[in-house]
Structure 1
Amino acid sequence: MFRLSKVFLSGVSAMAVAAGLMVFGPSPSAEAVPATIPLTIKNSSGRSEPVYVYNLGTLLTTGQQGWADANGTFHPWPVGGNPPTPAPDASITGPANGQTKTIRMPKFSGRIYFSIGQKIVFKLTTGGLVQPAVQNPADPNRNILFNWSEYTLNDAGLWINSTQVDMFSAPYAVGVKAANGAVSTTGRLKPGGYNAVFSQLRSAGWGGLIQNRPDGTPLRALSPGHGIEAGGIPAGVMNDYINRVWNKYGSSTLTVTPFANQPNTKYYGRVSGNVMNFTNGSGAVVTSFQKPDSDSVFGCYKLLDAPNDQVRGPISRTLCAGFNRSTLLTNPGQPDPNNANFYRDAVTNHYSRIIHGQMADGKAYGFAFDDVGAHESLVHDGNPQEAFMTLEPFN
C-alpha cells in the first residue's frame, strides 16, 4: 500500500482523519457547512487531451472508504482481492481546455485526482484501495500524466492543498470562496515555473528524480524519498548534513519550541551515544531519536516518526523541517522563523528548495511537515461556499 502524504491541518494529521481516526471539532459555523459544496474545475492547461477527475477518500460520517460521483454521492469500494482486482471506474469526465466543470464535494477526507490523456489505473486489495506509486517502475500509472490535491471537508470547514510531498507533476492551483465572496488561492507557479523546476533539478544534480515518457517528455519529478527508493539519487545524499548536526549537538543544546501559540513549551536536545535525547524544563527525558538516515529525513518517518501526540510528534515535525530546510546548524532555536535562512547549506532538500522558489506565493508542500511555520500551500475556510481547482499551463 502507498504512504499517504502527511498534511497537518490545525495540528491534526489529515492522514489520521483519512483513516477515520479523528475529525475536527465543531466550529461556530458548523451548521452552515452543507452536506456537499461545489468544486469548480477550470482547465487552463493549454492541452487538448481529455481530462479525468476522481474524488476518492473516507466518508467522515461512517469511516467508509470509497469514491464520490459528480453529484457528490458516495460509493463504497467493493471488497478487493489478492492479487489486486480492478476498482470500479470512478472517473468523472473533466473540462476541455478553456472550459470549466463543477462537481460536488461531500464531507470527505481524501484526494481529488486528475489525469490528462488517460484514465488512472486503480485496484483493490483485501485491505482497500491501491493508489498509484510511480516510484515503482512496474506501476501501471508510470507513463500516465496525473496529479492530485488533498482535502478535508467537515463541520469545521474545508482544508484543501496543493501538494508535492510525493511528486511534482501536472501543475494546478486550488482555492476556496468564503461567505463574503473573498477567494483564497495557492499552488500557482510563477510564469515559466513548471519547466524551471525540471531544469533546476538537473542543474542541482538531482535530475535522477525526473521521470520521462519514452519520448523524453517529463512526466514528473519524484520527491527525494521516493527518488531514493527508485534509485534516482544516492541513499546517503543527506548524510553529511545529518552527521554535522549530530556532532554539533553533542556539545551544545538544540532548543525546540514546537507550538507557536505556546512559547513557554520548550524541549532541549543533546546528543549522547549517537542518540539525541530531549528533556523538558524539569530535566526529564521526554523522547529520544536515533541518528536518522536520509530517507527518514525526507519522509519525516521511520527514525523521525511523528505520532499524533503532544510531545514526540511535535518535536519530530520540528526536527524534520529543520533537516529538510538545513537550518539546524545555523539556528539552535527551532523552528527557524525566517525563510531567508532556508536551504542555504550545500546539503539540503533541493527538491523542496526549487519548488518553493518557483511558487508564485512561495508556499508549497515540498515535504511532509512543510506546514511547520506555515510555509505550506493550503487554504482553509470555516464556511466554504465553493472550492476551486485550476489546471495550469505547462510552461
Structure 2
Amino acid sequence: MISRRAFLGGMSAAALAVPVLGSPALASPLTTARRRAAPTLPLTIVNSSGNFDNASVSVYIVGVNLDTGEHARVTPDGQLLAVSPSDNGSDGYADYAIPLQGSGDTTLTLPNMSGRIYFALGDKLKFKVVTDGAGKPALQYPAGWVSSDANYRVLHDTVEFTFKSDGMYCNTTMVDMFSVPLSIELQGAQQQKTGTLVAGGREKILAGVGENPDFGGLRQEDMRVIAPGHALDLGAFPDTYYDSYIDEVWSKYQSTQLKVNTGDGRVFTGQVSGDAFTFDGGVQPIGRPSTRDVLFCDGALAAPNDGVTGPVAAILGAAFNRSTLLDATDQPGTDPAAFYRHQVTNHYSKVMHANTEDGKAYGFAFDDVANFASYIQDGAPTAIKVTLTPW
C-alpha cells in the first residue's frame, strides 16, 4: 500500500494545512509487531549546525489535537494546549517559542498529536491565531517563501509528524521549501534515520537549483530555495513549463496503455481519451493536468482518499514530477537512476534527492510513491531525535 500525505479537513482558509501522516487508509502496513504507543514520546533536539549556538535556536511544536480536532501547541513542559486569540501579543503574534538548553542536547516531551516541529535560527517565528469560518481558533502557519509574510526574513524549517496510539509517522520535508538541514532518528521496534544531507549539502542545493535557468527564481538569496509550485504562484517560474511534456504523454497514451500497480495486488490499466486518462477498475477519469497541477500534485492530479482513484492519481503525479511516463508504460518506476532524466522534469526535487545521504527526500507531495521520501514510521516508538545537521 502506498503511503502518501493526507491533510486535515476543516482547516481555516487562513491557516496552512497541517499534514496528518500515517492515516490507516493511506499508510503502509507496519511490518513490526503492533502495540499501543505510549501517550508521550521523548523528543531530543541536537544542535550540530555549527552556524548557530543553542541560544540562537527556537523550537515550535504546533498542530492539531487528534482527540479534539483543536489547533494546538506544545509548551516547554510538554502540555498540549489549544491555541487562543488571546495568545496573540501586542504585536499581533503568538510567541510559542521553546528555547533550547544553554548547551548540549535538549529533551522535550511530545504528546499525541499531528503537526510540525519548526526550527527558527537567529530570530523568532511569528504565528498568529485567527478565527476560522466556524468561529473556532485556527493557527496561521509561516509562509516564509512569500515576501509579505512576517517570517520571510527568518531562517526556519520544519519536520512533520503524527504521533498517535498506533505509532509515530514522521518526515523531513522540502515540499514547500528548503532552508535548514535537518535529520530525524526514530527509535522503537527498530532504529531508523533519514534526512541527513551530504557534506556541504545546503550550499549544493542552493547552487544546484539555479543550474537550470527555469529554476533560477526558486532561490531567495541565501535564505532558502522554494518549491517550483510556490515560485509559479509568485511569478518566478513559468506556468507552461510542463506543457510540452504533458502534450507528449497525452499523445503517447492515446494509442498505448499505461499499467499502474498500486502495490496492494491491484493493477489498473488506462489510456488517454480526449482530455482524460481513463482507467478500468472504478478509477475516476483523470483530466489533462496543467504545469501547476503537476508541481502541486493537485487539480487534475488531486488524489482523493478513496483507495481507488487516489493511489492511481498519486502515482501519476509522481511519474510526471520524475518524468518517467514517456520511458515506462508500467508505473510506478522503482529505479531512481531512471528518474529526472528528461529535460523537462522537477529539477528542484532532483537536486534534493542528489544531496541526501540515503537518496531520499520529500521534493513534492507524492514523493513517497515507491518509498523515495525522507519518511519513517514505527508502531512501537520509544524516542525521536531531530538534529540540526552541519551546513
Please report the TM-score for the alignment, with normalisation by the length of structure 1. 0.87
Aligned match of 1:193: 201
Which residue number corresponds to residue 132 of structure 1?
Answer: 142
Change (3 A) 1:7 1:367: farther
List per-residue Cα deviations over 1:323-367 (Å, max 9, x = no partner).
000011111111112111111101000000010010000011111
Q: Structure 1 residues 87 and 107 mapped into 2: Cα distance closer, same or farther (>3 Å)?
A: farther
- 144, 156, 164: which one aligns with 2:154: 144
SS of the residue corresponding to residue 340 of structure 1 reads helix
Deviation at 1:12, TM superposition (A): 4.4
Q: CA deviation at 1:110?
A: 0.4
Pick from 108, 111, 126: which aligns with 1:106?
Answer: 111
Give deviations 1:246-285, integer Å, cap 9, x for gaps. 1111111111111x131xx1222211222211122xxxx6
Q: After superposition, where does 1:349-364 map in structure 2 within 5 Å?
A: 349-364=346-361
Give the letter for the 1:241 counterpart.
Y
AA aligned to 1:378 is Y
CA distance in 1, matches of 2:346, 2:257: 24
Flag structure 2 segments of 5+ consecutive residues without an equivalent. Answer: 1-13, 133-137
Other-structure match for 1:304: 301
Tell me how far apart the structure 2 counterparts of residues 12 and 80 of structure 1 sit (CA, whole Å). Answer: 37
The equivalent residue for 1:155 is: 165
What letter matches 1:333 in structure 2?
A: D
Distance 1:244 1:102 in 2: 52
**Which letter does structure 2 place at the counterpart of 1:313?**
G
* Cα separation, partners in 2 of 1:346 and 1:167, compared to 1, 3 Å: same
SS at match of 1:388: strand
Shift of residue 178, structure 1, vs aligned partner: 1.7
Structure 1 residue corresponding to 2:227, chosen from 207, 223, 228: 223
2:77 to 71, 76, 92: 71
Q: CA deviation at 1:136?
A: 2.3
Shift of 1:86: 3.3
Shift in alpha-carbon separation, 1:65–1:6, aligned structure 2, 3 A: closer
- Give the secondary-structure state (helix, strand or coil) at the position aligned to 1:195: helix
> Aligned residues: percent identity?
37
Q: Distance in 2 between matches of 1:60 and 1:11?
A: 14
Matched, 1:211 2:239: no
Residues 1:236 and 1:5: Cα distance change in structure 2 (over 3 Å): farther
User: 2:148 & 2:26 partners in 1: Cα distance?
Assistant: 30
State how far apart, in whole Å, the 1-side matches of 2:239 and 2:86 are.
Answer: 34
* CA spacing shift, 1:219–1:2, aligned 2, 3 Å: farther
Q: Tell whether the 8 Å contact from 1:51 to 1:95 is kept in structure 2 after alignment.
A: no
* Residue matched to 2:135: none
What's the counterpart of residue 343 of structure 1? Answer: 340
In the alignment, which residue of structure 2 is the partner of 1:278? 279
Match of residue 120, structure 2, among 107, 115, 123: 115
Cα shift readout 1:222-258 (whole Å, capped 9, x = no counterpart):
0111111122211111111111111111111111111
Q: Which whole-Å CA distance do the structure 2 matches of 1:354 and 1:51 have between them?
A: 27
Matches of residues 13-28 of structure 1 in structure 2 within 5 Å?
Answer: 28=34
Q: Name the amino acid aligned to 1:210.
A: R
CA distance 1:80–1:244, change in 2 (3 Å) = farther
Q: Distance in 2 between matches of 1:190 and 1:71?
A: 34
TM-score (norm 2): 0.88
Contact 2:25 2:307 in 1 (8 A): no
Q: Is contact 1:8-1:371 (8 Å) kept?
A: no
Contact kept? 1:5, 1:368, Cα under 8 Å: no
Amino acid in the other structure paired with 1:163 = T
Judged with a 3 Å threshold, the aligned counterparts in structure 2 of structure 1 residues 199 and 363 are, in CA distance, closer, same or farther, namely same
1-structure distance, mates of 2:294, 2:20:
16
Q: CA deviation at 1:302?
A: 1.3
Aligned length: 364
Q: CA deviation at 1:71?
A: 2.2
Q: Secondary structure at the match of 2:223?
A: strand
2:264 aligned partner: 261
Task: State the partner residue of 1:53.
Answer: 59
